[in-house]
C-alpha cells in the first residue's frame, strides 16, 4: 500500500471549506499513487470550537460523509478523516474510513477523551475497529488513544498491521509525535500513520510532526 498523510490547518468551523480541502488533497494523493489518505482529528469541522461542535455535528450517514464518499469514489482511493458524530443526544469524536468505492468501511469513536472540552462534549467510545483494506489490516485510533499502550496492543492482537491515527497534537506535547508514536510502532511491530494539524485555534497551537513510522520505529516520512 502506498499511504498518504495530510498535515495542514484546516478551515476552523467551515465544513464546506474542509470538504473542499479533502477533495483537493485526495485528488493529489491519488495522482501520486496512494491507496489511503489520512486526515487529522475532527477535520471536517475543526477541533477547538467548544459548544459550537454541537451545531456542526452530523449523524452517520449524513451530508459530510456522503461528500467524503463521493470524493473517495471520484479519486479512487480510501479516505480516513476525523468527524464530529451525532448519535441521538450524544456526540462522539469519531474517525470514519471510507473505501475507494465511496462506502463506509469503519467508524472509530475516540475512547480516551482529552481535557475538559472533550469530556464535557463527547461520550467516550467503547470499541476498537480493524478492517481489511487492499489486503492490509488497518486499525484506527484517535489522538490521545495512541498514548495508551493497551490500545495499540489490542489492535495488534486483533491483527492490525497498520494503525492510522487522526490527531490534533498541540504544543508543548511534541514528545508524543517524536517519541511515543515510534515506540508504539516498534513495541507492537506495526506501521503507524499519524496525521496532525498545523496552525492554531484559539489558545491551541498545533505542532504538525505528522509521520508514517515502520515496525522498527524508524520514519518512512515525517513532516515539519
The Cα 143–Cα 112 span in angstroms is 9
Residue pLDDT tens, the chain, 224 long: 999 999 999 999 999 999 999 999 999 999 999 999 999 999 999 999 999 999 999 999 999 999 999 999 999 999 999 999 999 999 999 999 999 999 999 999 999 999 999 999 999 999 998 999 999 999 999 999 999 999 999 999 999 999 999 999 999 999 999 999 999 999 999 999 999 999 999 999 999 999 999 999 999 999 99
176-201 pLDDT, tens digit per residue, is 999 999 999 999 999 999 999 999 99
Count of helices and strands (H, E) across the chain: 7, 13
Contact of 182 with 25, CB cutoff 8 Å: no
Is the preceding peptide bond at 172 cis, omega within 30 degrees of 0?
A: yes
pTM score, two decimals?
A: 0.97
- C-alpha grid cell, residue 123: 461520550
Q: Which residues on adjacent β-strands are paired with residue 78?
A: 36
Q: Is the peptide bond before 61 cis (omega within 30 degrees of 0)?
A: yes
Q: Determine contact, residues 215/187, Cβ cutoff 8 Å.
A: no
4-29 pLDDT per residue, tens? 999 999 999 999 999 999 999 999 99
Q: Which residues are catalytic?
A: 41, 110, 143
Amino acid at each position: 500500500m502506498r499511504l498518504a498523510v495530510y498535515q495542514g490547518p484546516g478551515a476552523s468551523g467551515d465544513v464546506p471549506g474542509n470538504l473542499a480541502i479533502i477533495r483537493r488533497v485526495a485528488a493529489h494523493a491519488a495522482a501520486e499513487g496512494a491507496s489511503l489518505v489520512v486526515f487529522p482529528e475532527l477535520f471536517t469541522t475543526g477541533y477547538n470550537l467548544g459548544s459550537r461542535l454541537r451545531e456542526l455535528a452530523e449523524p452517520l450517514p449524513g451530508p459530510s460523509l456522503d461528500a467524503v464518499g463521493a470524493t473517495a469514489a471520484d479519486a479512487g482511493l480510501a479516505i480516513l478523516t476525523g468527524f464530529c458524530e451525532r448519535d441521538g443526544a450524544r456526540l462522539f469524536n469519531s474517525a470514519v474510513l471510507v473505501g475507494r468505492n465511496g462506502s463506509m468501511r469503519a467508524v472509530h469513536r475516540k475512547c480516551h477523551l482529552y481535557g475538559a472540552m472533550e469530556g464535557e462534549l463527547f461520550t467516550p467510545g467503547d470499541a476498537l475497529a480493524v478492517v481489511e483494506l487492499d489486503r492490509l489490516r488497518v486499525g484506527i485510533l484517535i489522538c490521545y488513544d495512541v498514548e495508551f499502550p493497551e490500545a495499540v496492543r489490542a489492535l495488534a492482537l486483533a491483527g492490525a498491521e497498520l494503525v492510522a491515527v487522526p490527531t490534533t497534537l498541540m504544543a508543548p506535547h511534541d514528545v508524543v509525535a517524536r517519541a511515543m508514536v515510534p515506540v508504539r510502532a516498534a513495541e507492537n511491530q506495526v506501521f503507524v500513520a499519524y496525521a496532525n494539524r498545523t496552525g492554531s485555534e484559539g489558545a491551541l497551537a498545533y505542532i504538525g510532526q505528522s509521520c508514517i513510522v515502520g515496525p522498527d520505529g524508524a520514519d518512512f516520512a515525517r513532516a515539519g
